[in-house]
Structure 1
Amino acid sequence: MTTNIPKQSINQLKKTLENFKINDAIELCTNEAQTRKFLIEPFFHLLNYISNDLIPEFNADFGDRVSQKIDYAILLNKKETILIEAKKYNSRLSDKEAGQLNGYFNNTKSSRIAVLTNGIEYRFYSDILLPNVIDSKPFFVFNLTNYSDKDLETLIKFDKRYVVINEIIKTAQECVFVEDFEASLLKEFIAPSKDLLKIIHRNMNFKTKFTEETQGKMINLINSALLKSLYDKKVISESNSNTGGIITTETEIQAYHTIRTLLIQNKKIPSQRIFFKDFKSFFNISVDDNLKKVICKLIFSDSKLKIVIENNEYLLSSVDDVLKYKNELINRTLLLLE
């Protein structure tokens, strides 16, 4: 059973982080010890770990080498351990540094999660790919100066009141699987393998011999223009199959892409928070797929195209006309992101 985390707890964490005087703390951090005291320890206190929960200079067994000490360890139920490797504020973190924790992972089964941090950035690692061998990449990264609501929803899972290591590992496994799947699929799109081409060729109605010339034609067809076209068709197919008679048109999808591209040119607007939802008489573009955070409403028919931003309606002669309302769309989005 998945742990139920109240929305109120997430909101409280968000408020507490917003009230954390991070700039004052940074000014006090000139070495690693001060980074621990003014940034790292307060961060874990925000997650409801008291001083006794954070065991400093934890004795770690690194196999045949002399015993070394990890900066911190959090013992959960005296069975599971979270390791924390601290670096000085402003230190550039790299995944290679996570290898410092590998010795401990190799010699204990009680630790499934390790954190590498410089007080601002917190990199969470596990041993998803190989048991007791720390992964080369983190499954979650939290930055105190740049985080999203989605990041908070993940971070709250490490709160002392809610932390369940097995659930976190399961989520991490899903993240690693999806990331690996995307990377493998992208690799095939960039340099299509013969096996992929064979599968596509076998499913084509237009039958030809699978020659090198045919393979060359297919490779040339697999480009960004084709993928965008297929993406649009996939979106329309998914939308139309789940909406009980609501038909999403290519014009609506084109408008969505135009507006989304326009918005994410602003660095303060994260692309992953822009969504659309089609209704029978209008098409919404919103923040976080939230009906209370509608950026604009599109009302498209055979006779006219109209965009509604807040309570202001504008007639469009073509989809490209939405570019005229760039400032209104960006300002509206930034307001909804607050």
Structure 2
Amino acid sequence: MDLIDRLRELSVQIPKQQQYISTEEATKNALVMPFINALGYNVFDPTEVTPELVADVGTKKGEKVDYAVLKDSSPIILFEVKCCGVDLNNVHASQLYRYFSVTAARFGILTDGINYHFYSDLDAPNKMDAKPFFVFNMLDFDEGTVDELKKFTKSAFDVDDILSTANELRYKREIKAIMAVEFNGPSEEFVRFFASRVYSRRLTQTVLEDFTEITKQAFRAFLNERIESRLKSALDSEAQEIVPEQSKPTEANEKAEEEIEQDGVVTTSDEKDAYMIVKSILREVVDVKRIAMRDVQTYCSVLLDDNNRKPICRFRFNNKTQKYLGIPTADKQEERIPIDDLDDIFKYADQLKTVVNLYL
């Protein structure tokens, strides 16, 4: 089984376990140990993984790090575990930081069992960096991030190989974070950069204020157009595949259409478009041929294997003032999420993937 498949198996269990994990020890047992095991290290072999590794650091005696992955009896990766749900961005990895400088390990990982922050000594030798160079989220990963994680597996671990791309990973992550901030609220510097290229007169404060909103709208429009372009390409490709089957209306199809009209159920263009968006999101985790749509009077369902017991989501678009996306929760209830635009469905891609993974 490939690493991404092992991680998917673990990720679908997390929503079921989270509410029962309230301590660091529970986080270690339920989440971190399976993660280390997925990387190919035997957590029950102390020559590969040592829990509570002890060392004296300066005046501090008996310092411990939660886990140390070993190679040839020497630590290569250190883990410091915090309780599941803790915001790692607000946590200082004190034990990891101190222990890092007195071992041969070049990599330290701070984790809450869901998010894994990978650190090294890129800025100064034997001194752990203040910022992680790589972040892995067990509830939100793709093939690209898993490919980076593979470098830390037992079979592929190579210090030089990891460090050769570590800086690039760090800078990419930080640039993406800056872009996210600018996307939500463009800074004056960001606005001025674009305004100066399209506006020939003096950039007064009033002009900059106007361009702040213009820049925000342009940024959003650009991203939406890129998304729509990729979605259209995927839909066109899919349409070409099914045209031969639909080119000749069959008696069964005509009968089905008559039954829909008699029941007063009309599948709207918004529902069809939303269905295609959901399929484009889920094609990463399941064969889209297994995703079906059923429309009734009050809502439109998207199902796995056309099975009512496997609902993926519901489109509640009949309310003229507000559309809702319904997503099943862990306790089999439906969370109704208001959406203003069909593109908003992309914001809930992770939840939709989690629902499907639970069935799989």
TM-score band by shorter chain is 0.5 to 0.7
Question: For residues 202-245 of structure 1, what are the alpha-carbon distances to aligned partners after superposition, in whole Å with 9 as ceiling and x for unaligned?
Answer: x67x865x5x63x642553242123356x47xxxxxxxxxxxxx
Counterpart in the other structure of 1:85? 80
Which of 191, 215, 224 is matched with 2:216 structurally?
224
Q: Distance in 2 between matches of 1:35 and 1:198?
A: 46
Structure 2: state its 5+ residue gaps: 248-267, 287-360
Query: 1: CA distance between counterparts of 2:173 and 2:26?
Result: 36
- For residues 141-290 of structure 1, the aligned pairs below 5 Å read 141-143=136-138, 145-183=139-177, 190-193=186-189, 197=192, 201=196, 208=201, 210=202, 213=204, 216-218=206-208, 220-222=210-212, 223-228=215-220, 231=222, 254=225, 257-258=227-228, 275=230, 284-285=233-234
Q: Following the alignment from structure 2 to structure 1, what is the Cα–Cα distance between the partners of residues 60 and 239? A: 67
Residue 14 (structure 1) aligns with: 4
Residues 309, 328 of structure 1: 8 Å contact kept:
no
Q: How many residues align?
A: 252
- Secondary structure of 2:156's counterpart equals coil
User: What's the C-alpha RMSD, in Å, of the aligned pairs?
Assistant: 4.2
Taking the aligned partners of 1:17 and 1:74, their CA distance within structure 2 comes to: 19
Partner of 2:68: 73
In the TM superposition, what whole-angstrom CA distance separates every residue of 1:164-221 from its partner, at most 9, and x where no partner exists? 2233233332122123334556659823339x848974x67x865x5x63x6425532
Q: CA 1:322 to 1:130, structure 2 compared with 1: closer, same or farther past 3 Å?
A: farther
Gaps of at least 5 residues in structure 1 are: 1-10, 233-252, 260-274, 277-282, 286-295, 299-306, 315-320
1:297 maps to 236
Q: 1:94 to 1:330 in 2, by over 3 A?
A: same
Q: Distance in 2 between matches of 1:146 and 1:220?
A: 36
Partner Cα separation in structure 1 for residue 210 and residue 94 of structure 2: 41
- 1:333 equivalent to 2:276? Answer no
**What is the rounded CA distance, in whole Å, between the counterparts of 2:22 and 2:38 in structure 1?**
22
Q: 1:27 to 1:179 in 2, by over 3 A?
A: closer
Q: Percent identity?
A: 21
Give the secondary-structure state (helix, strand or coil) at the position aligned to 2:280.
helix
Task: Tell me by how many angstroms 1:83 deviates.
Answer: 0.6
Does the 8 Å contact 2:133/2:167 carry over to 1? no
- TM-score, normalised by the number of residues in structure 2: 0.55
User: What SS class does the counterpart of residue 59 from structure 2 fall into?
Assistant: coil
**Equivalence for 2:239:** 308
Amino acid at match of 2:175: F
CA distance in 1, matches of 2:187, 2:8: 45
> Given that residues 102 and 133 in structure 1 are in contact (C-alpha distance below 8 angstroms), is that contact kept between their aligned partners in structure 2?
yes
TM-superposed CA distance for 1:84, in Å, is 0.9
- More displaced, 62-71 or 128-137? 128-137
Q: Quote the offset at 1:139 in angstroms.
A: 1.9
Matching residue of 1:114: 108
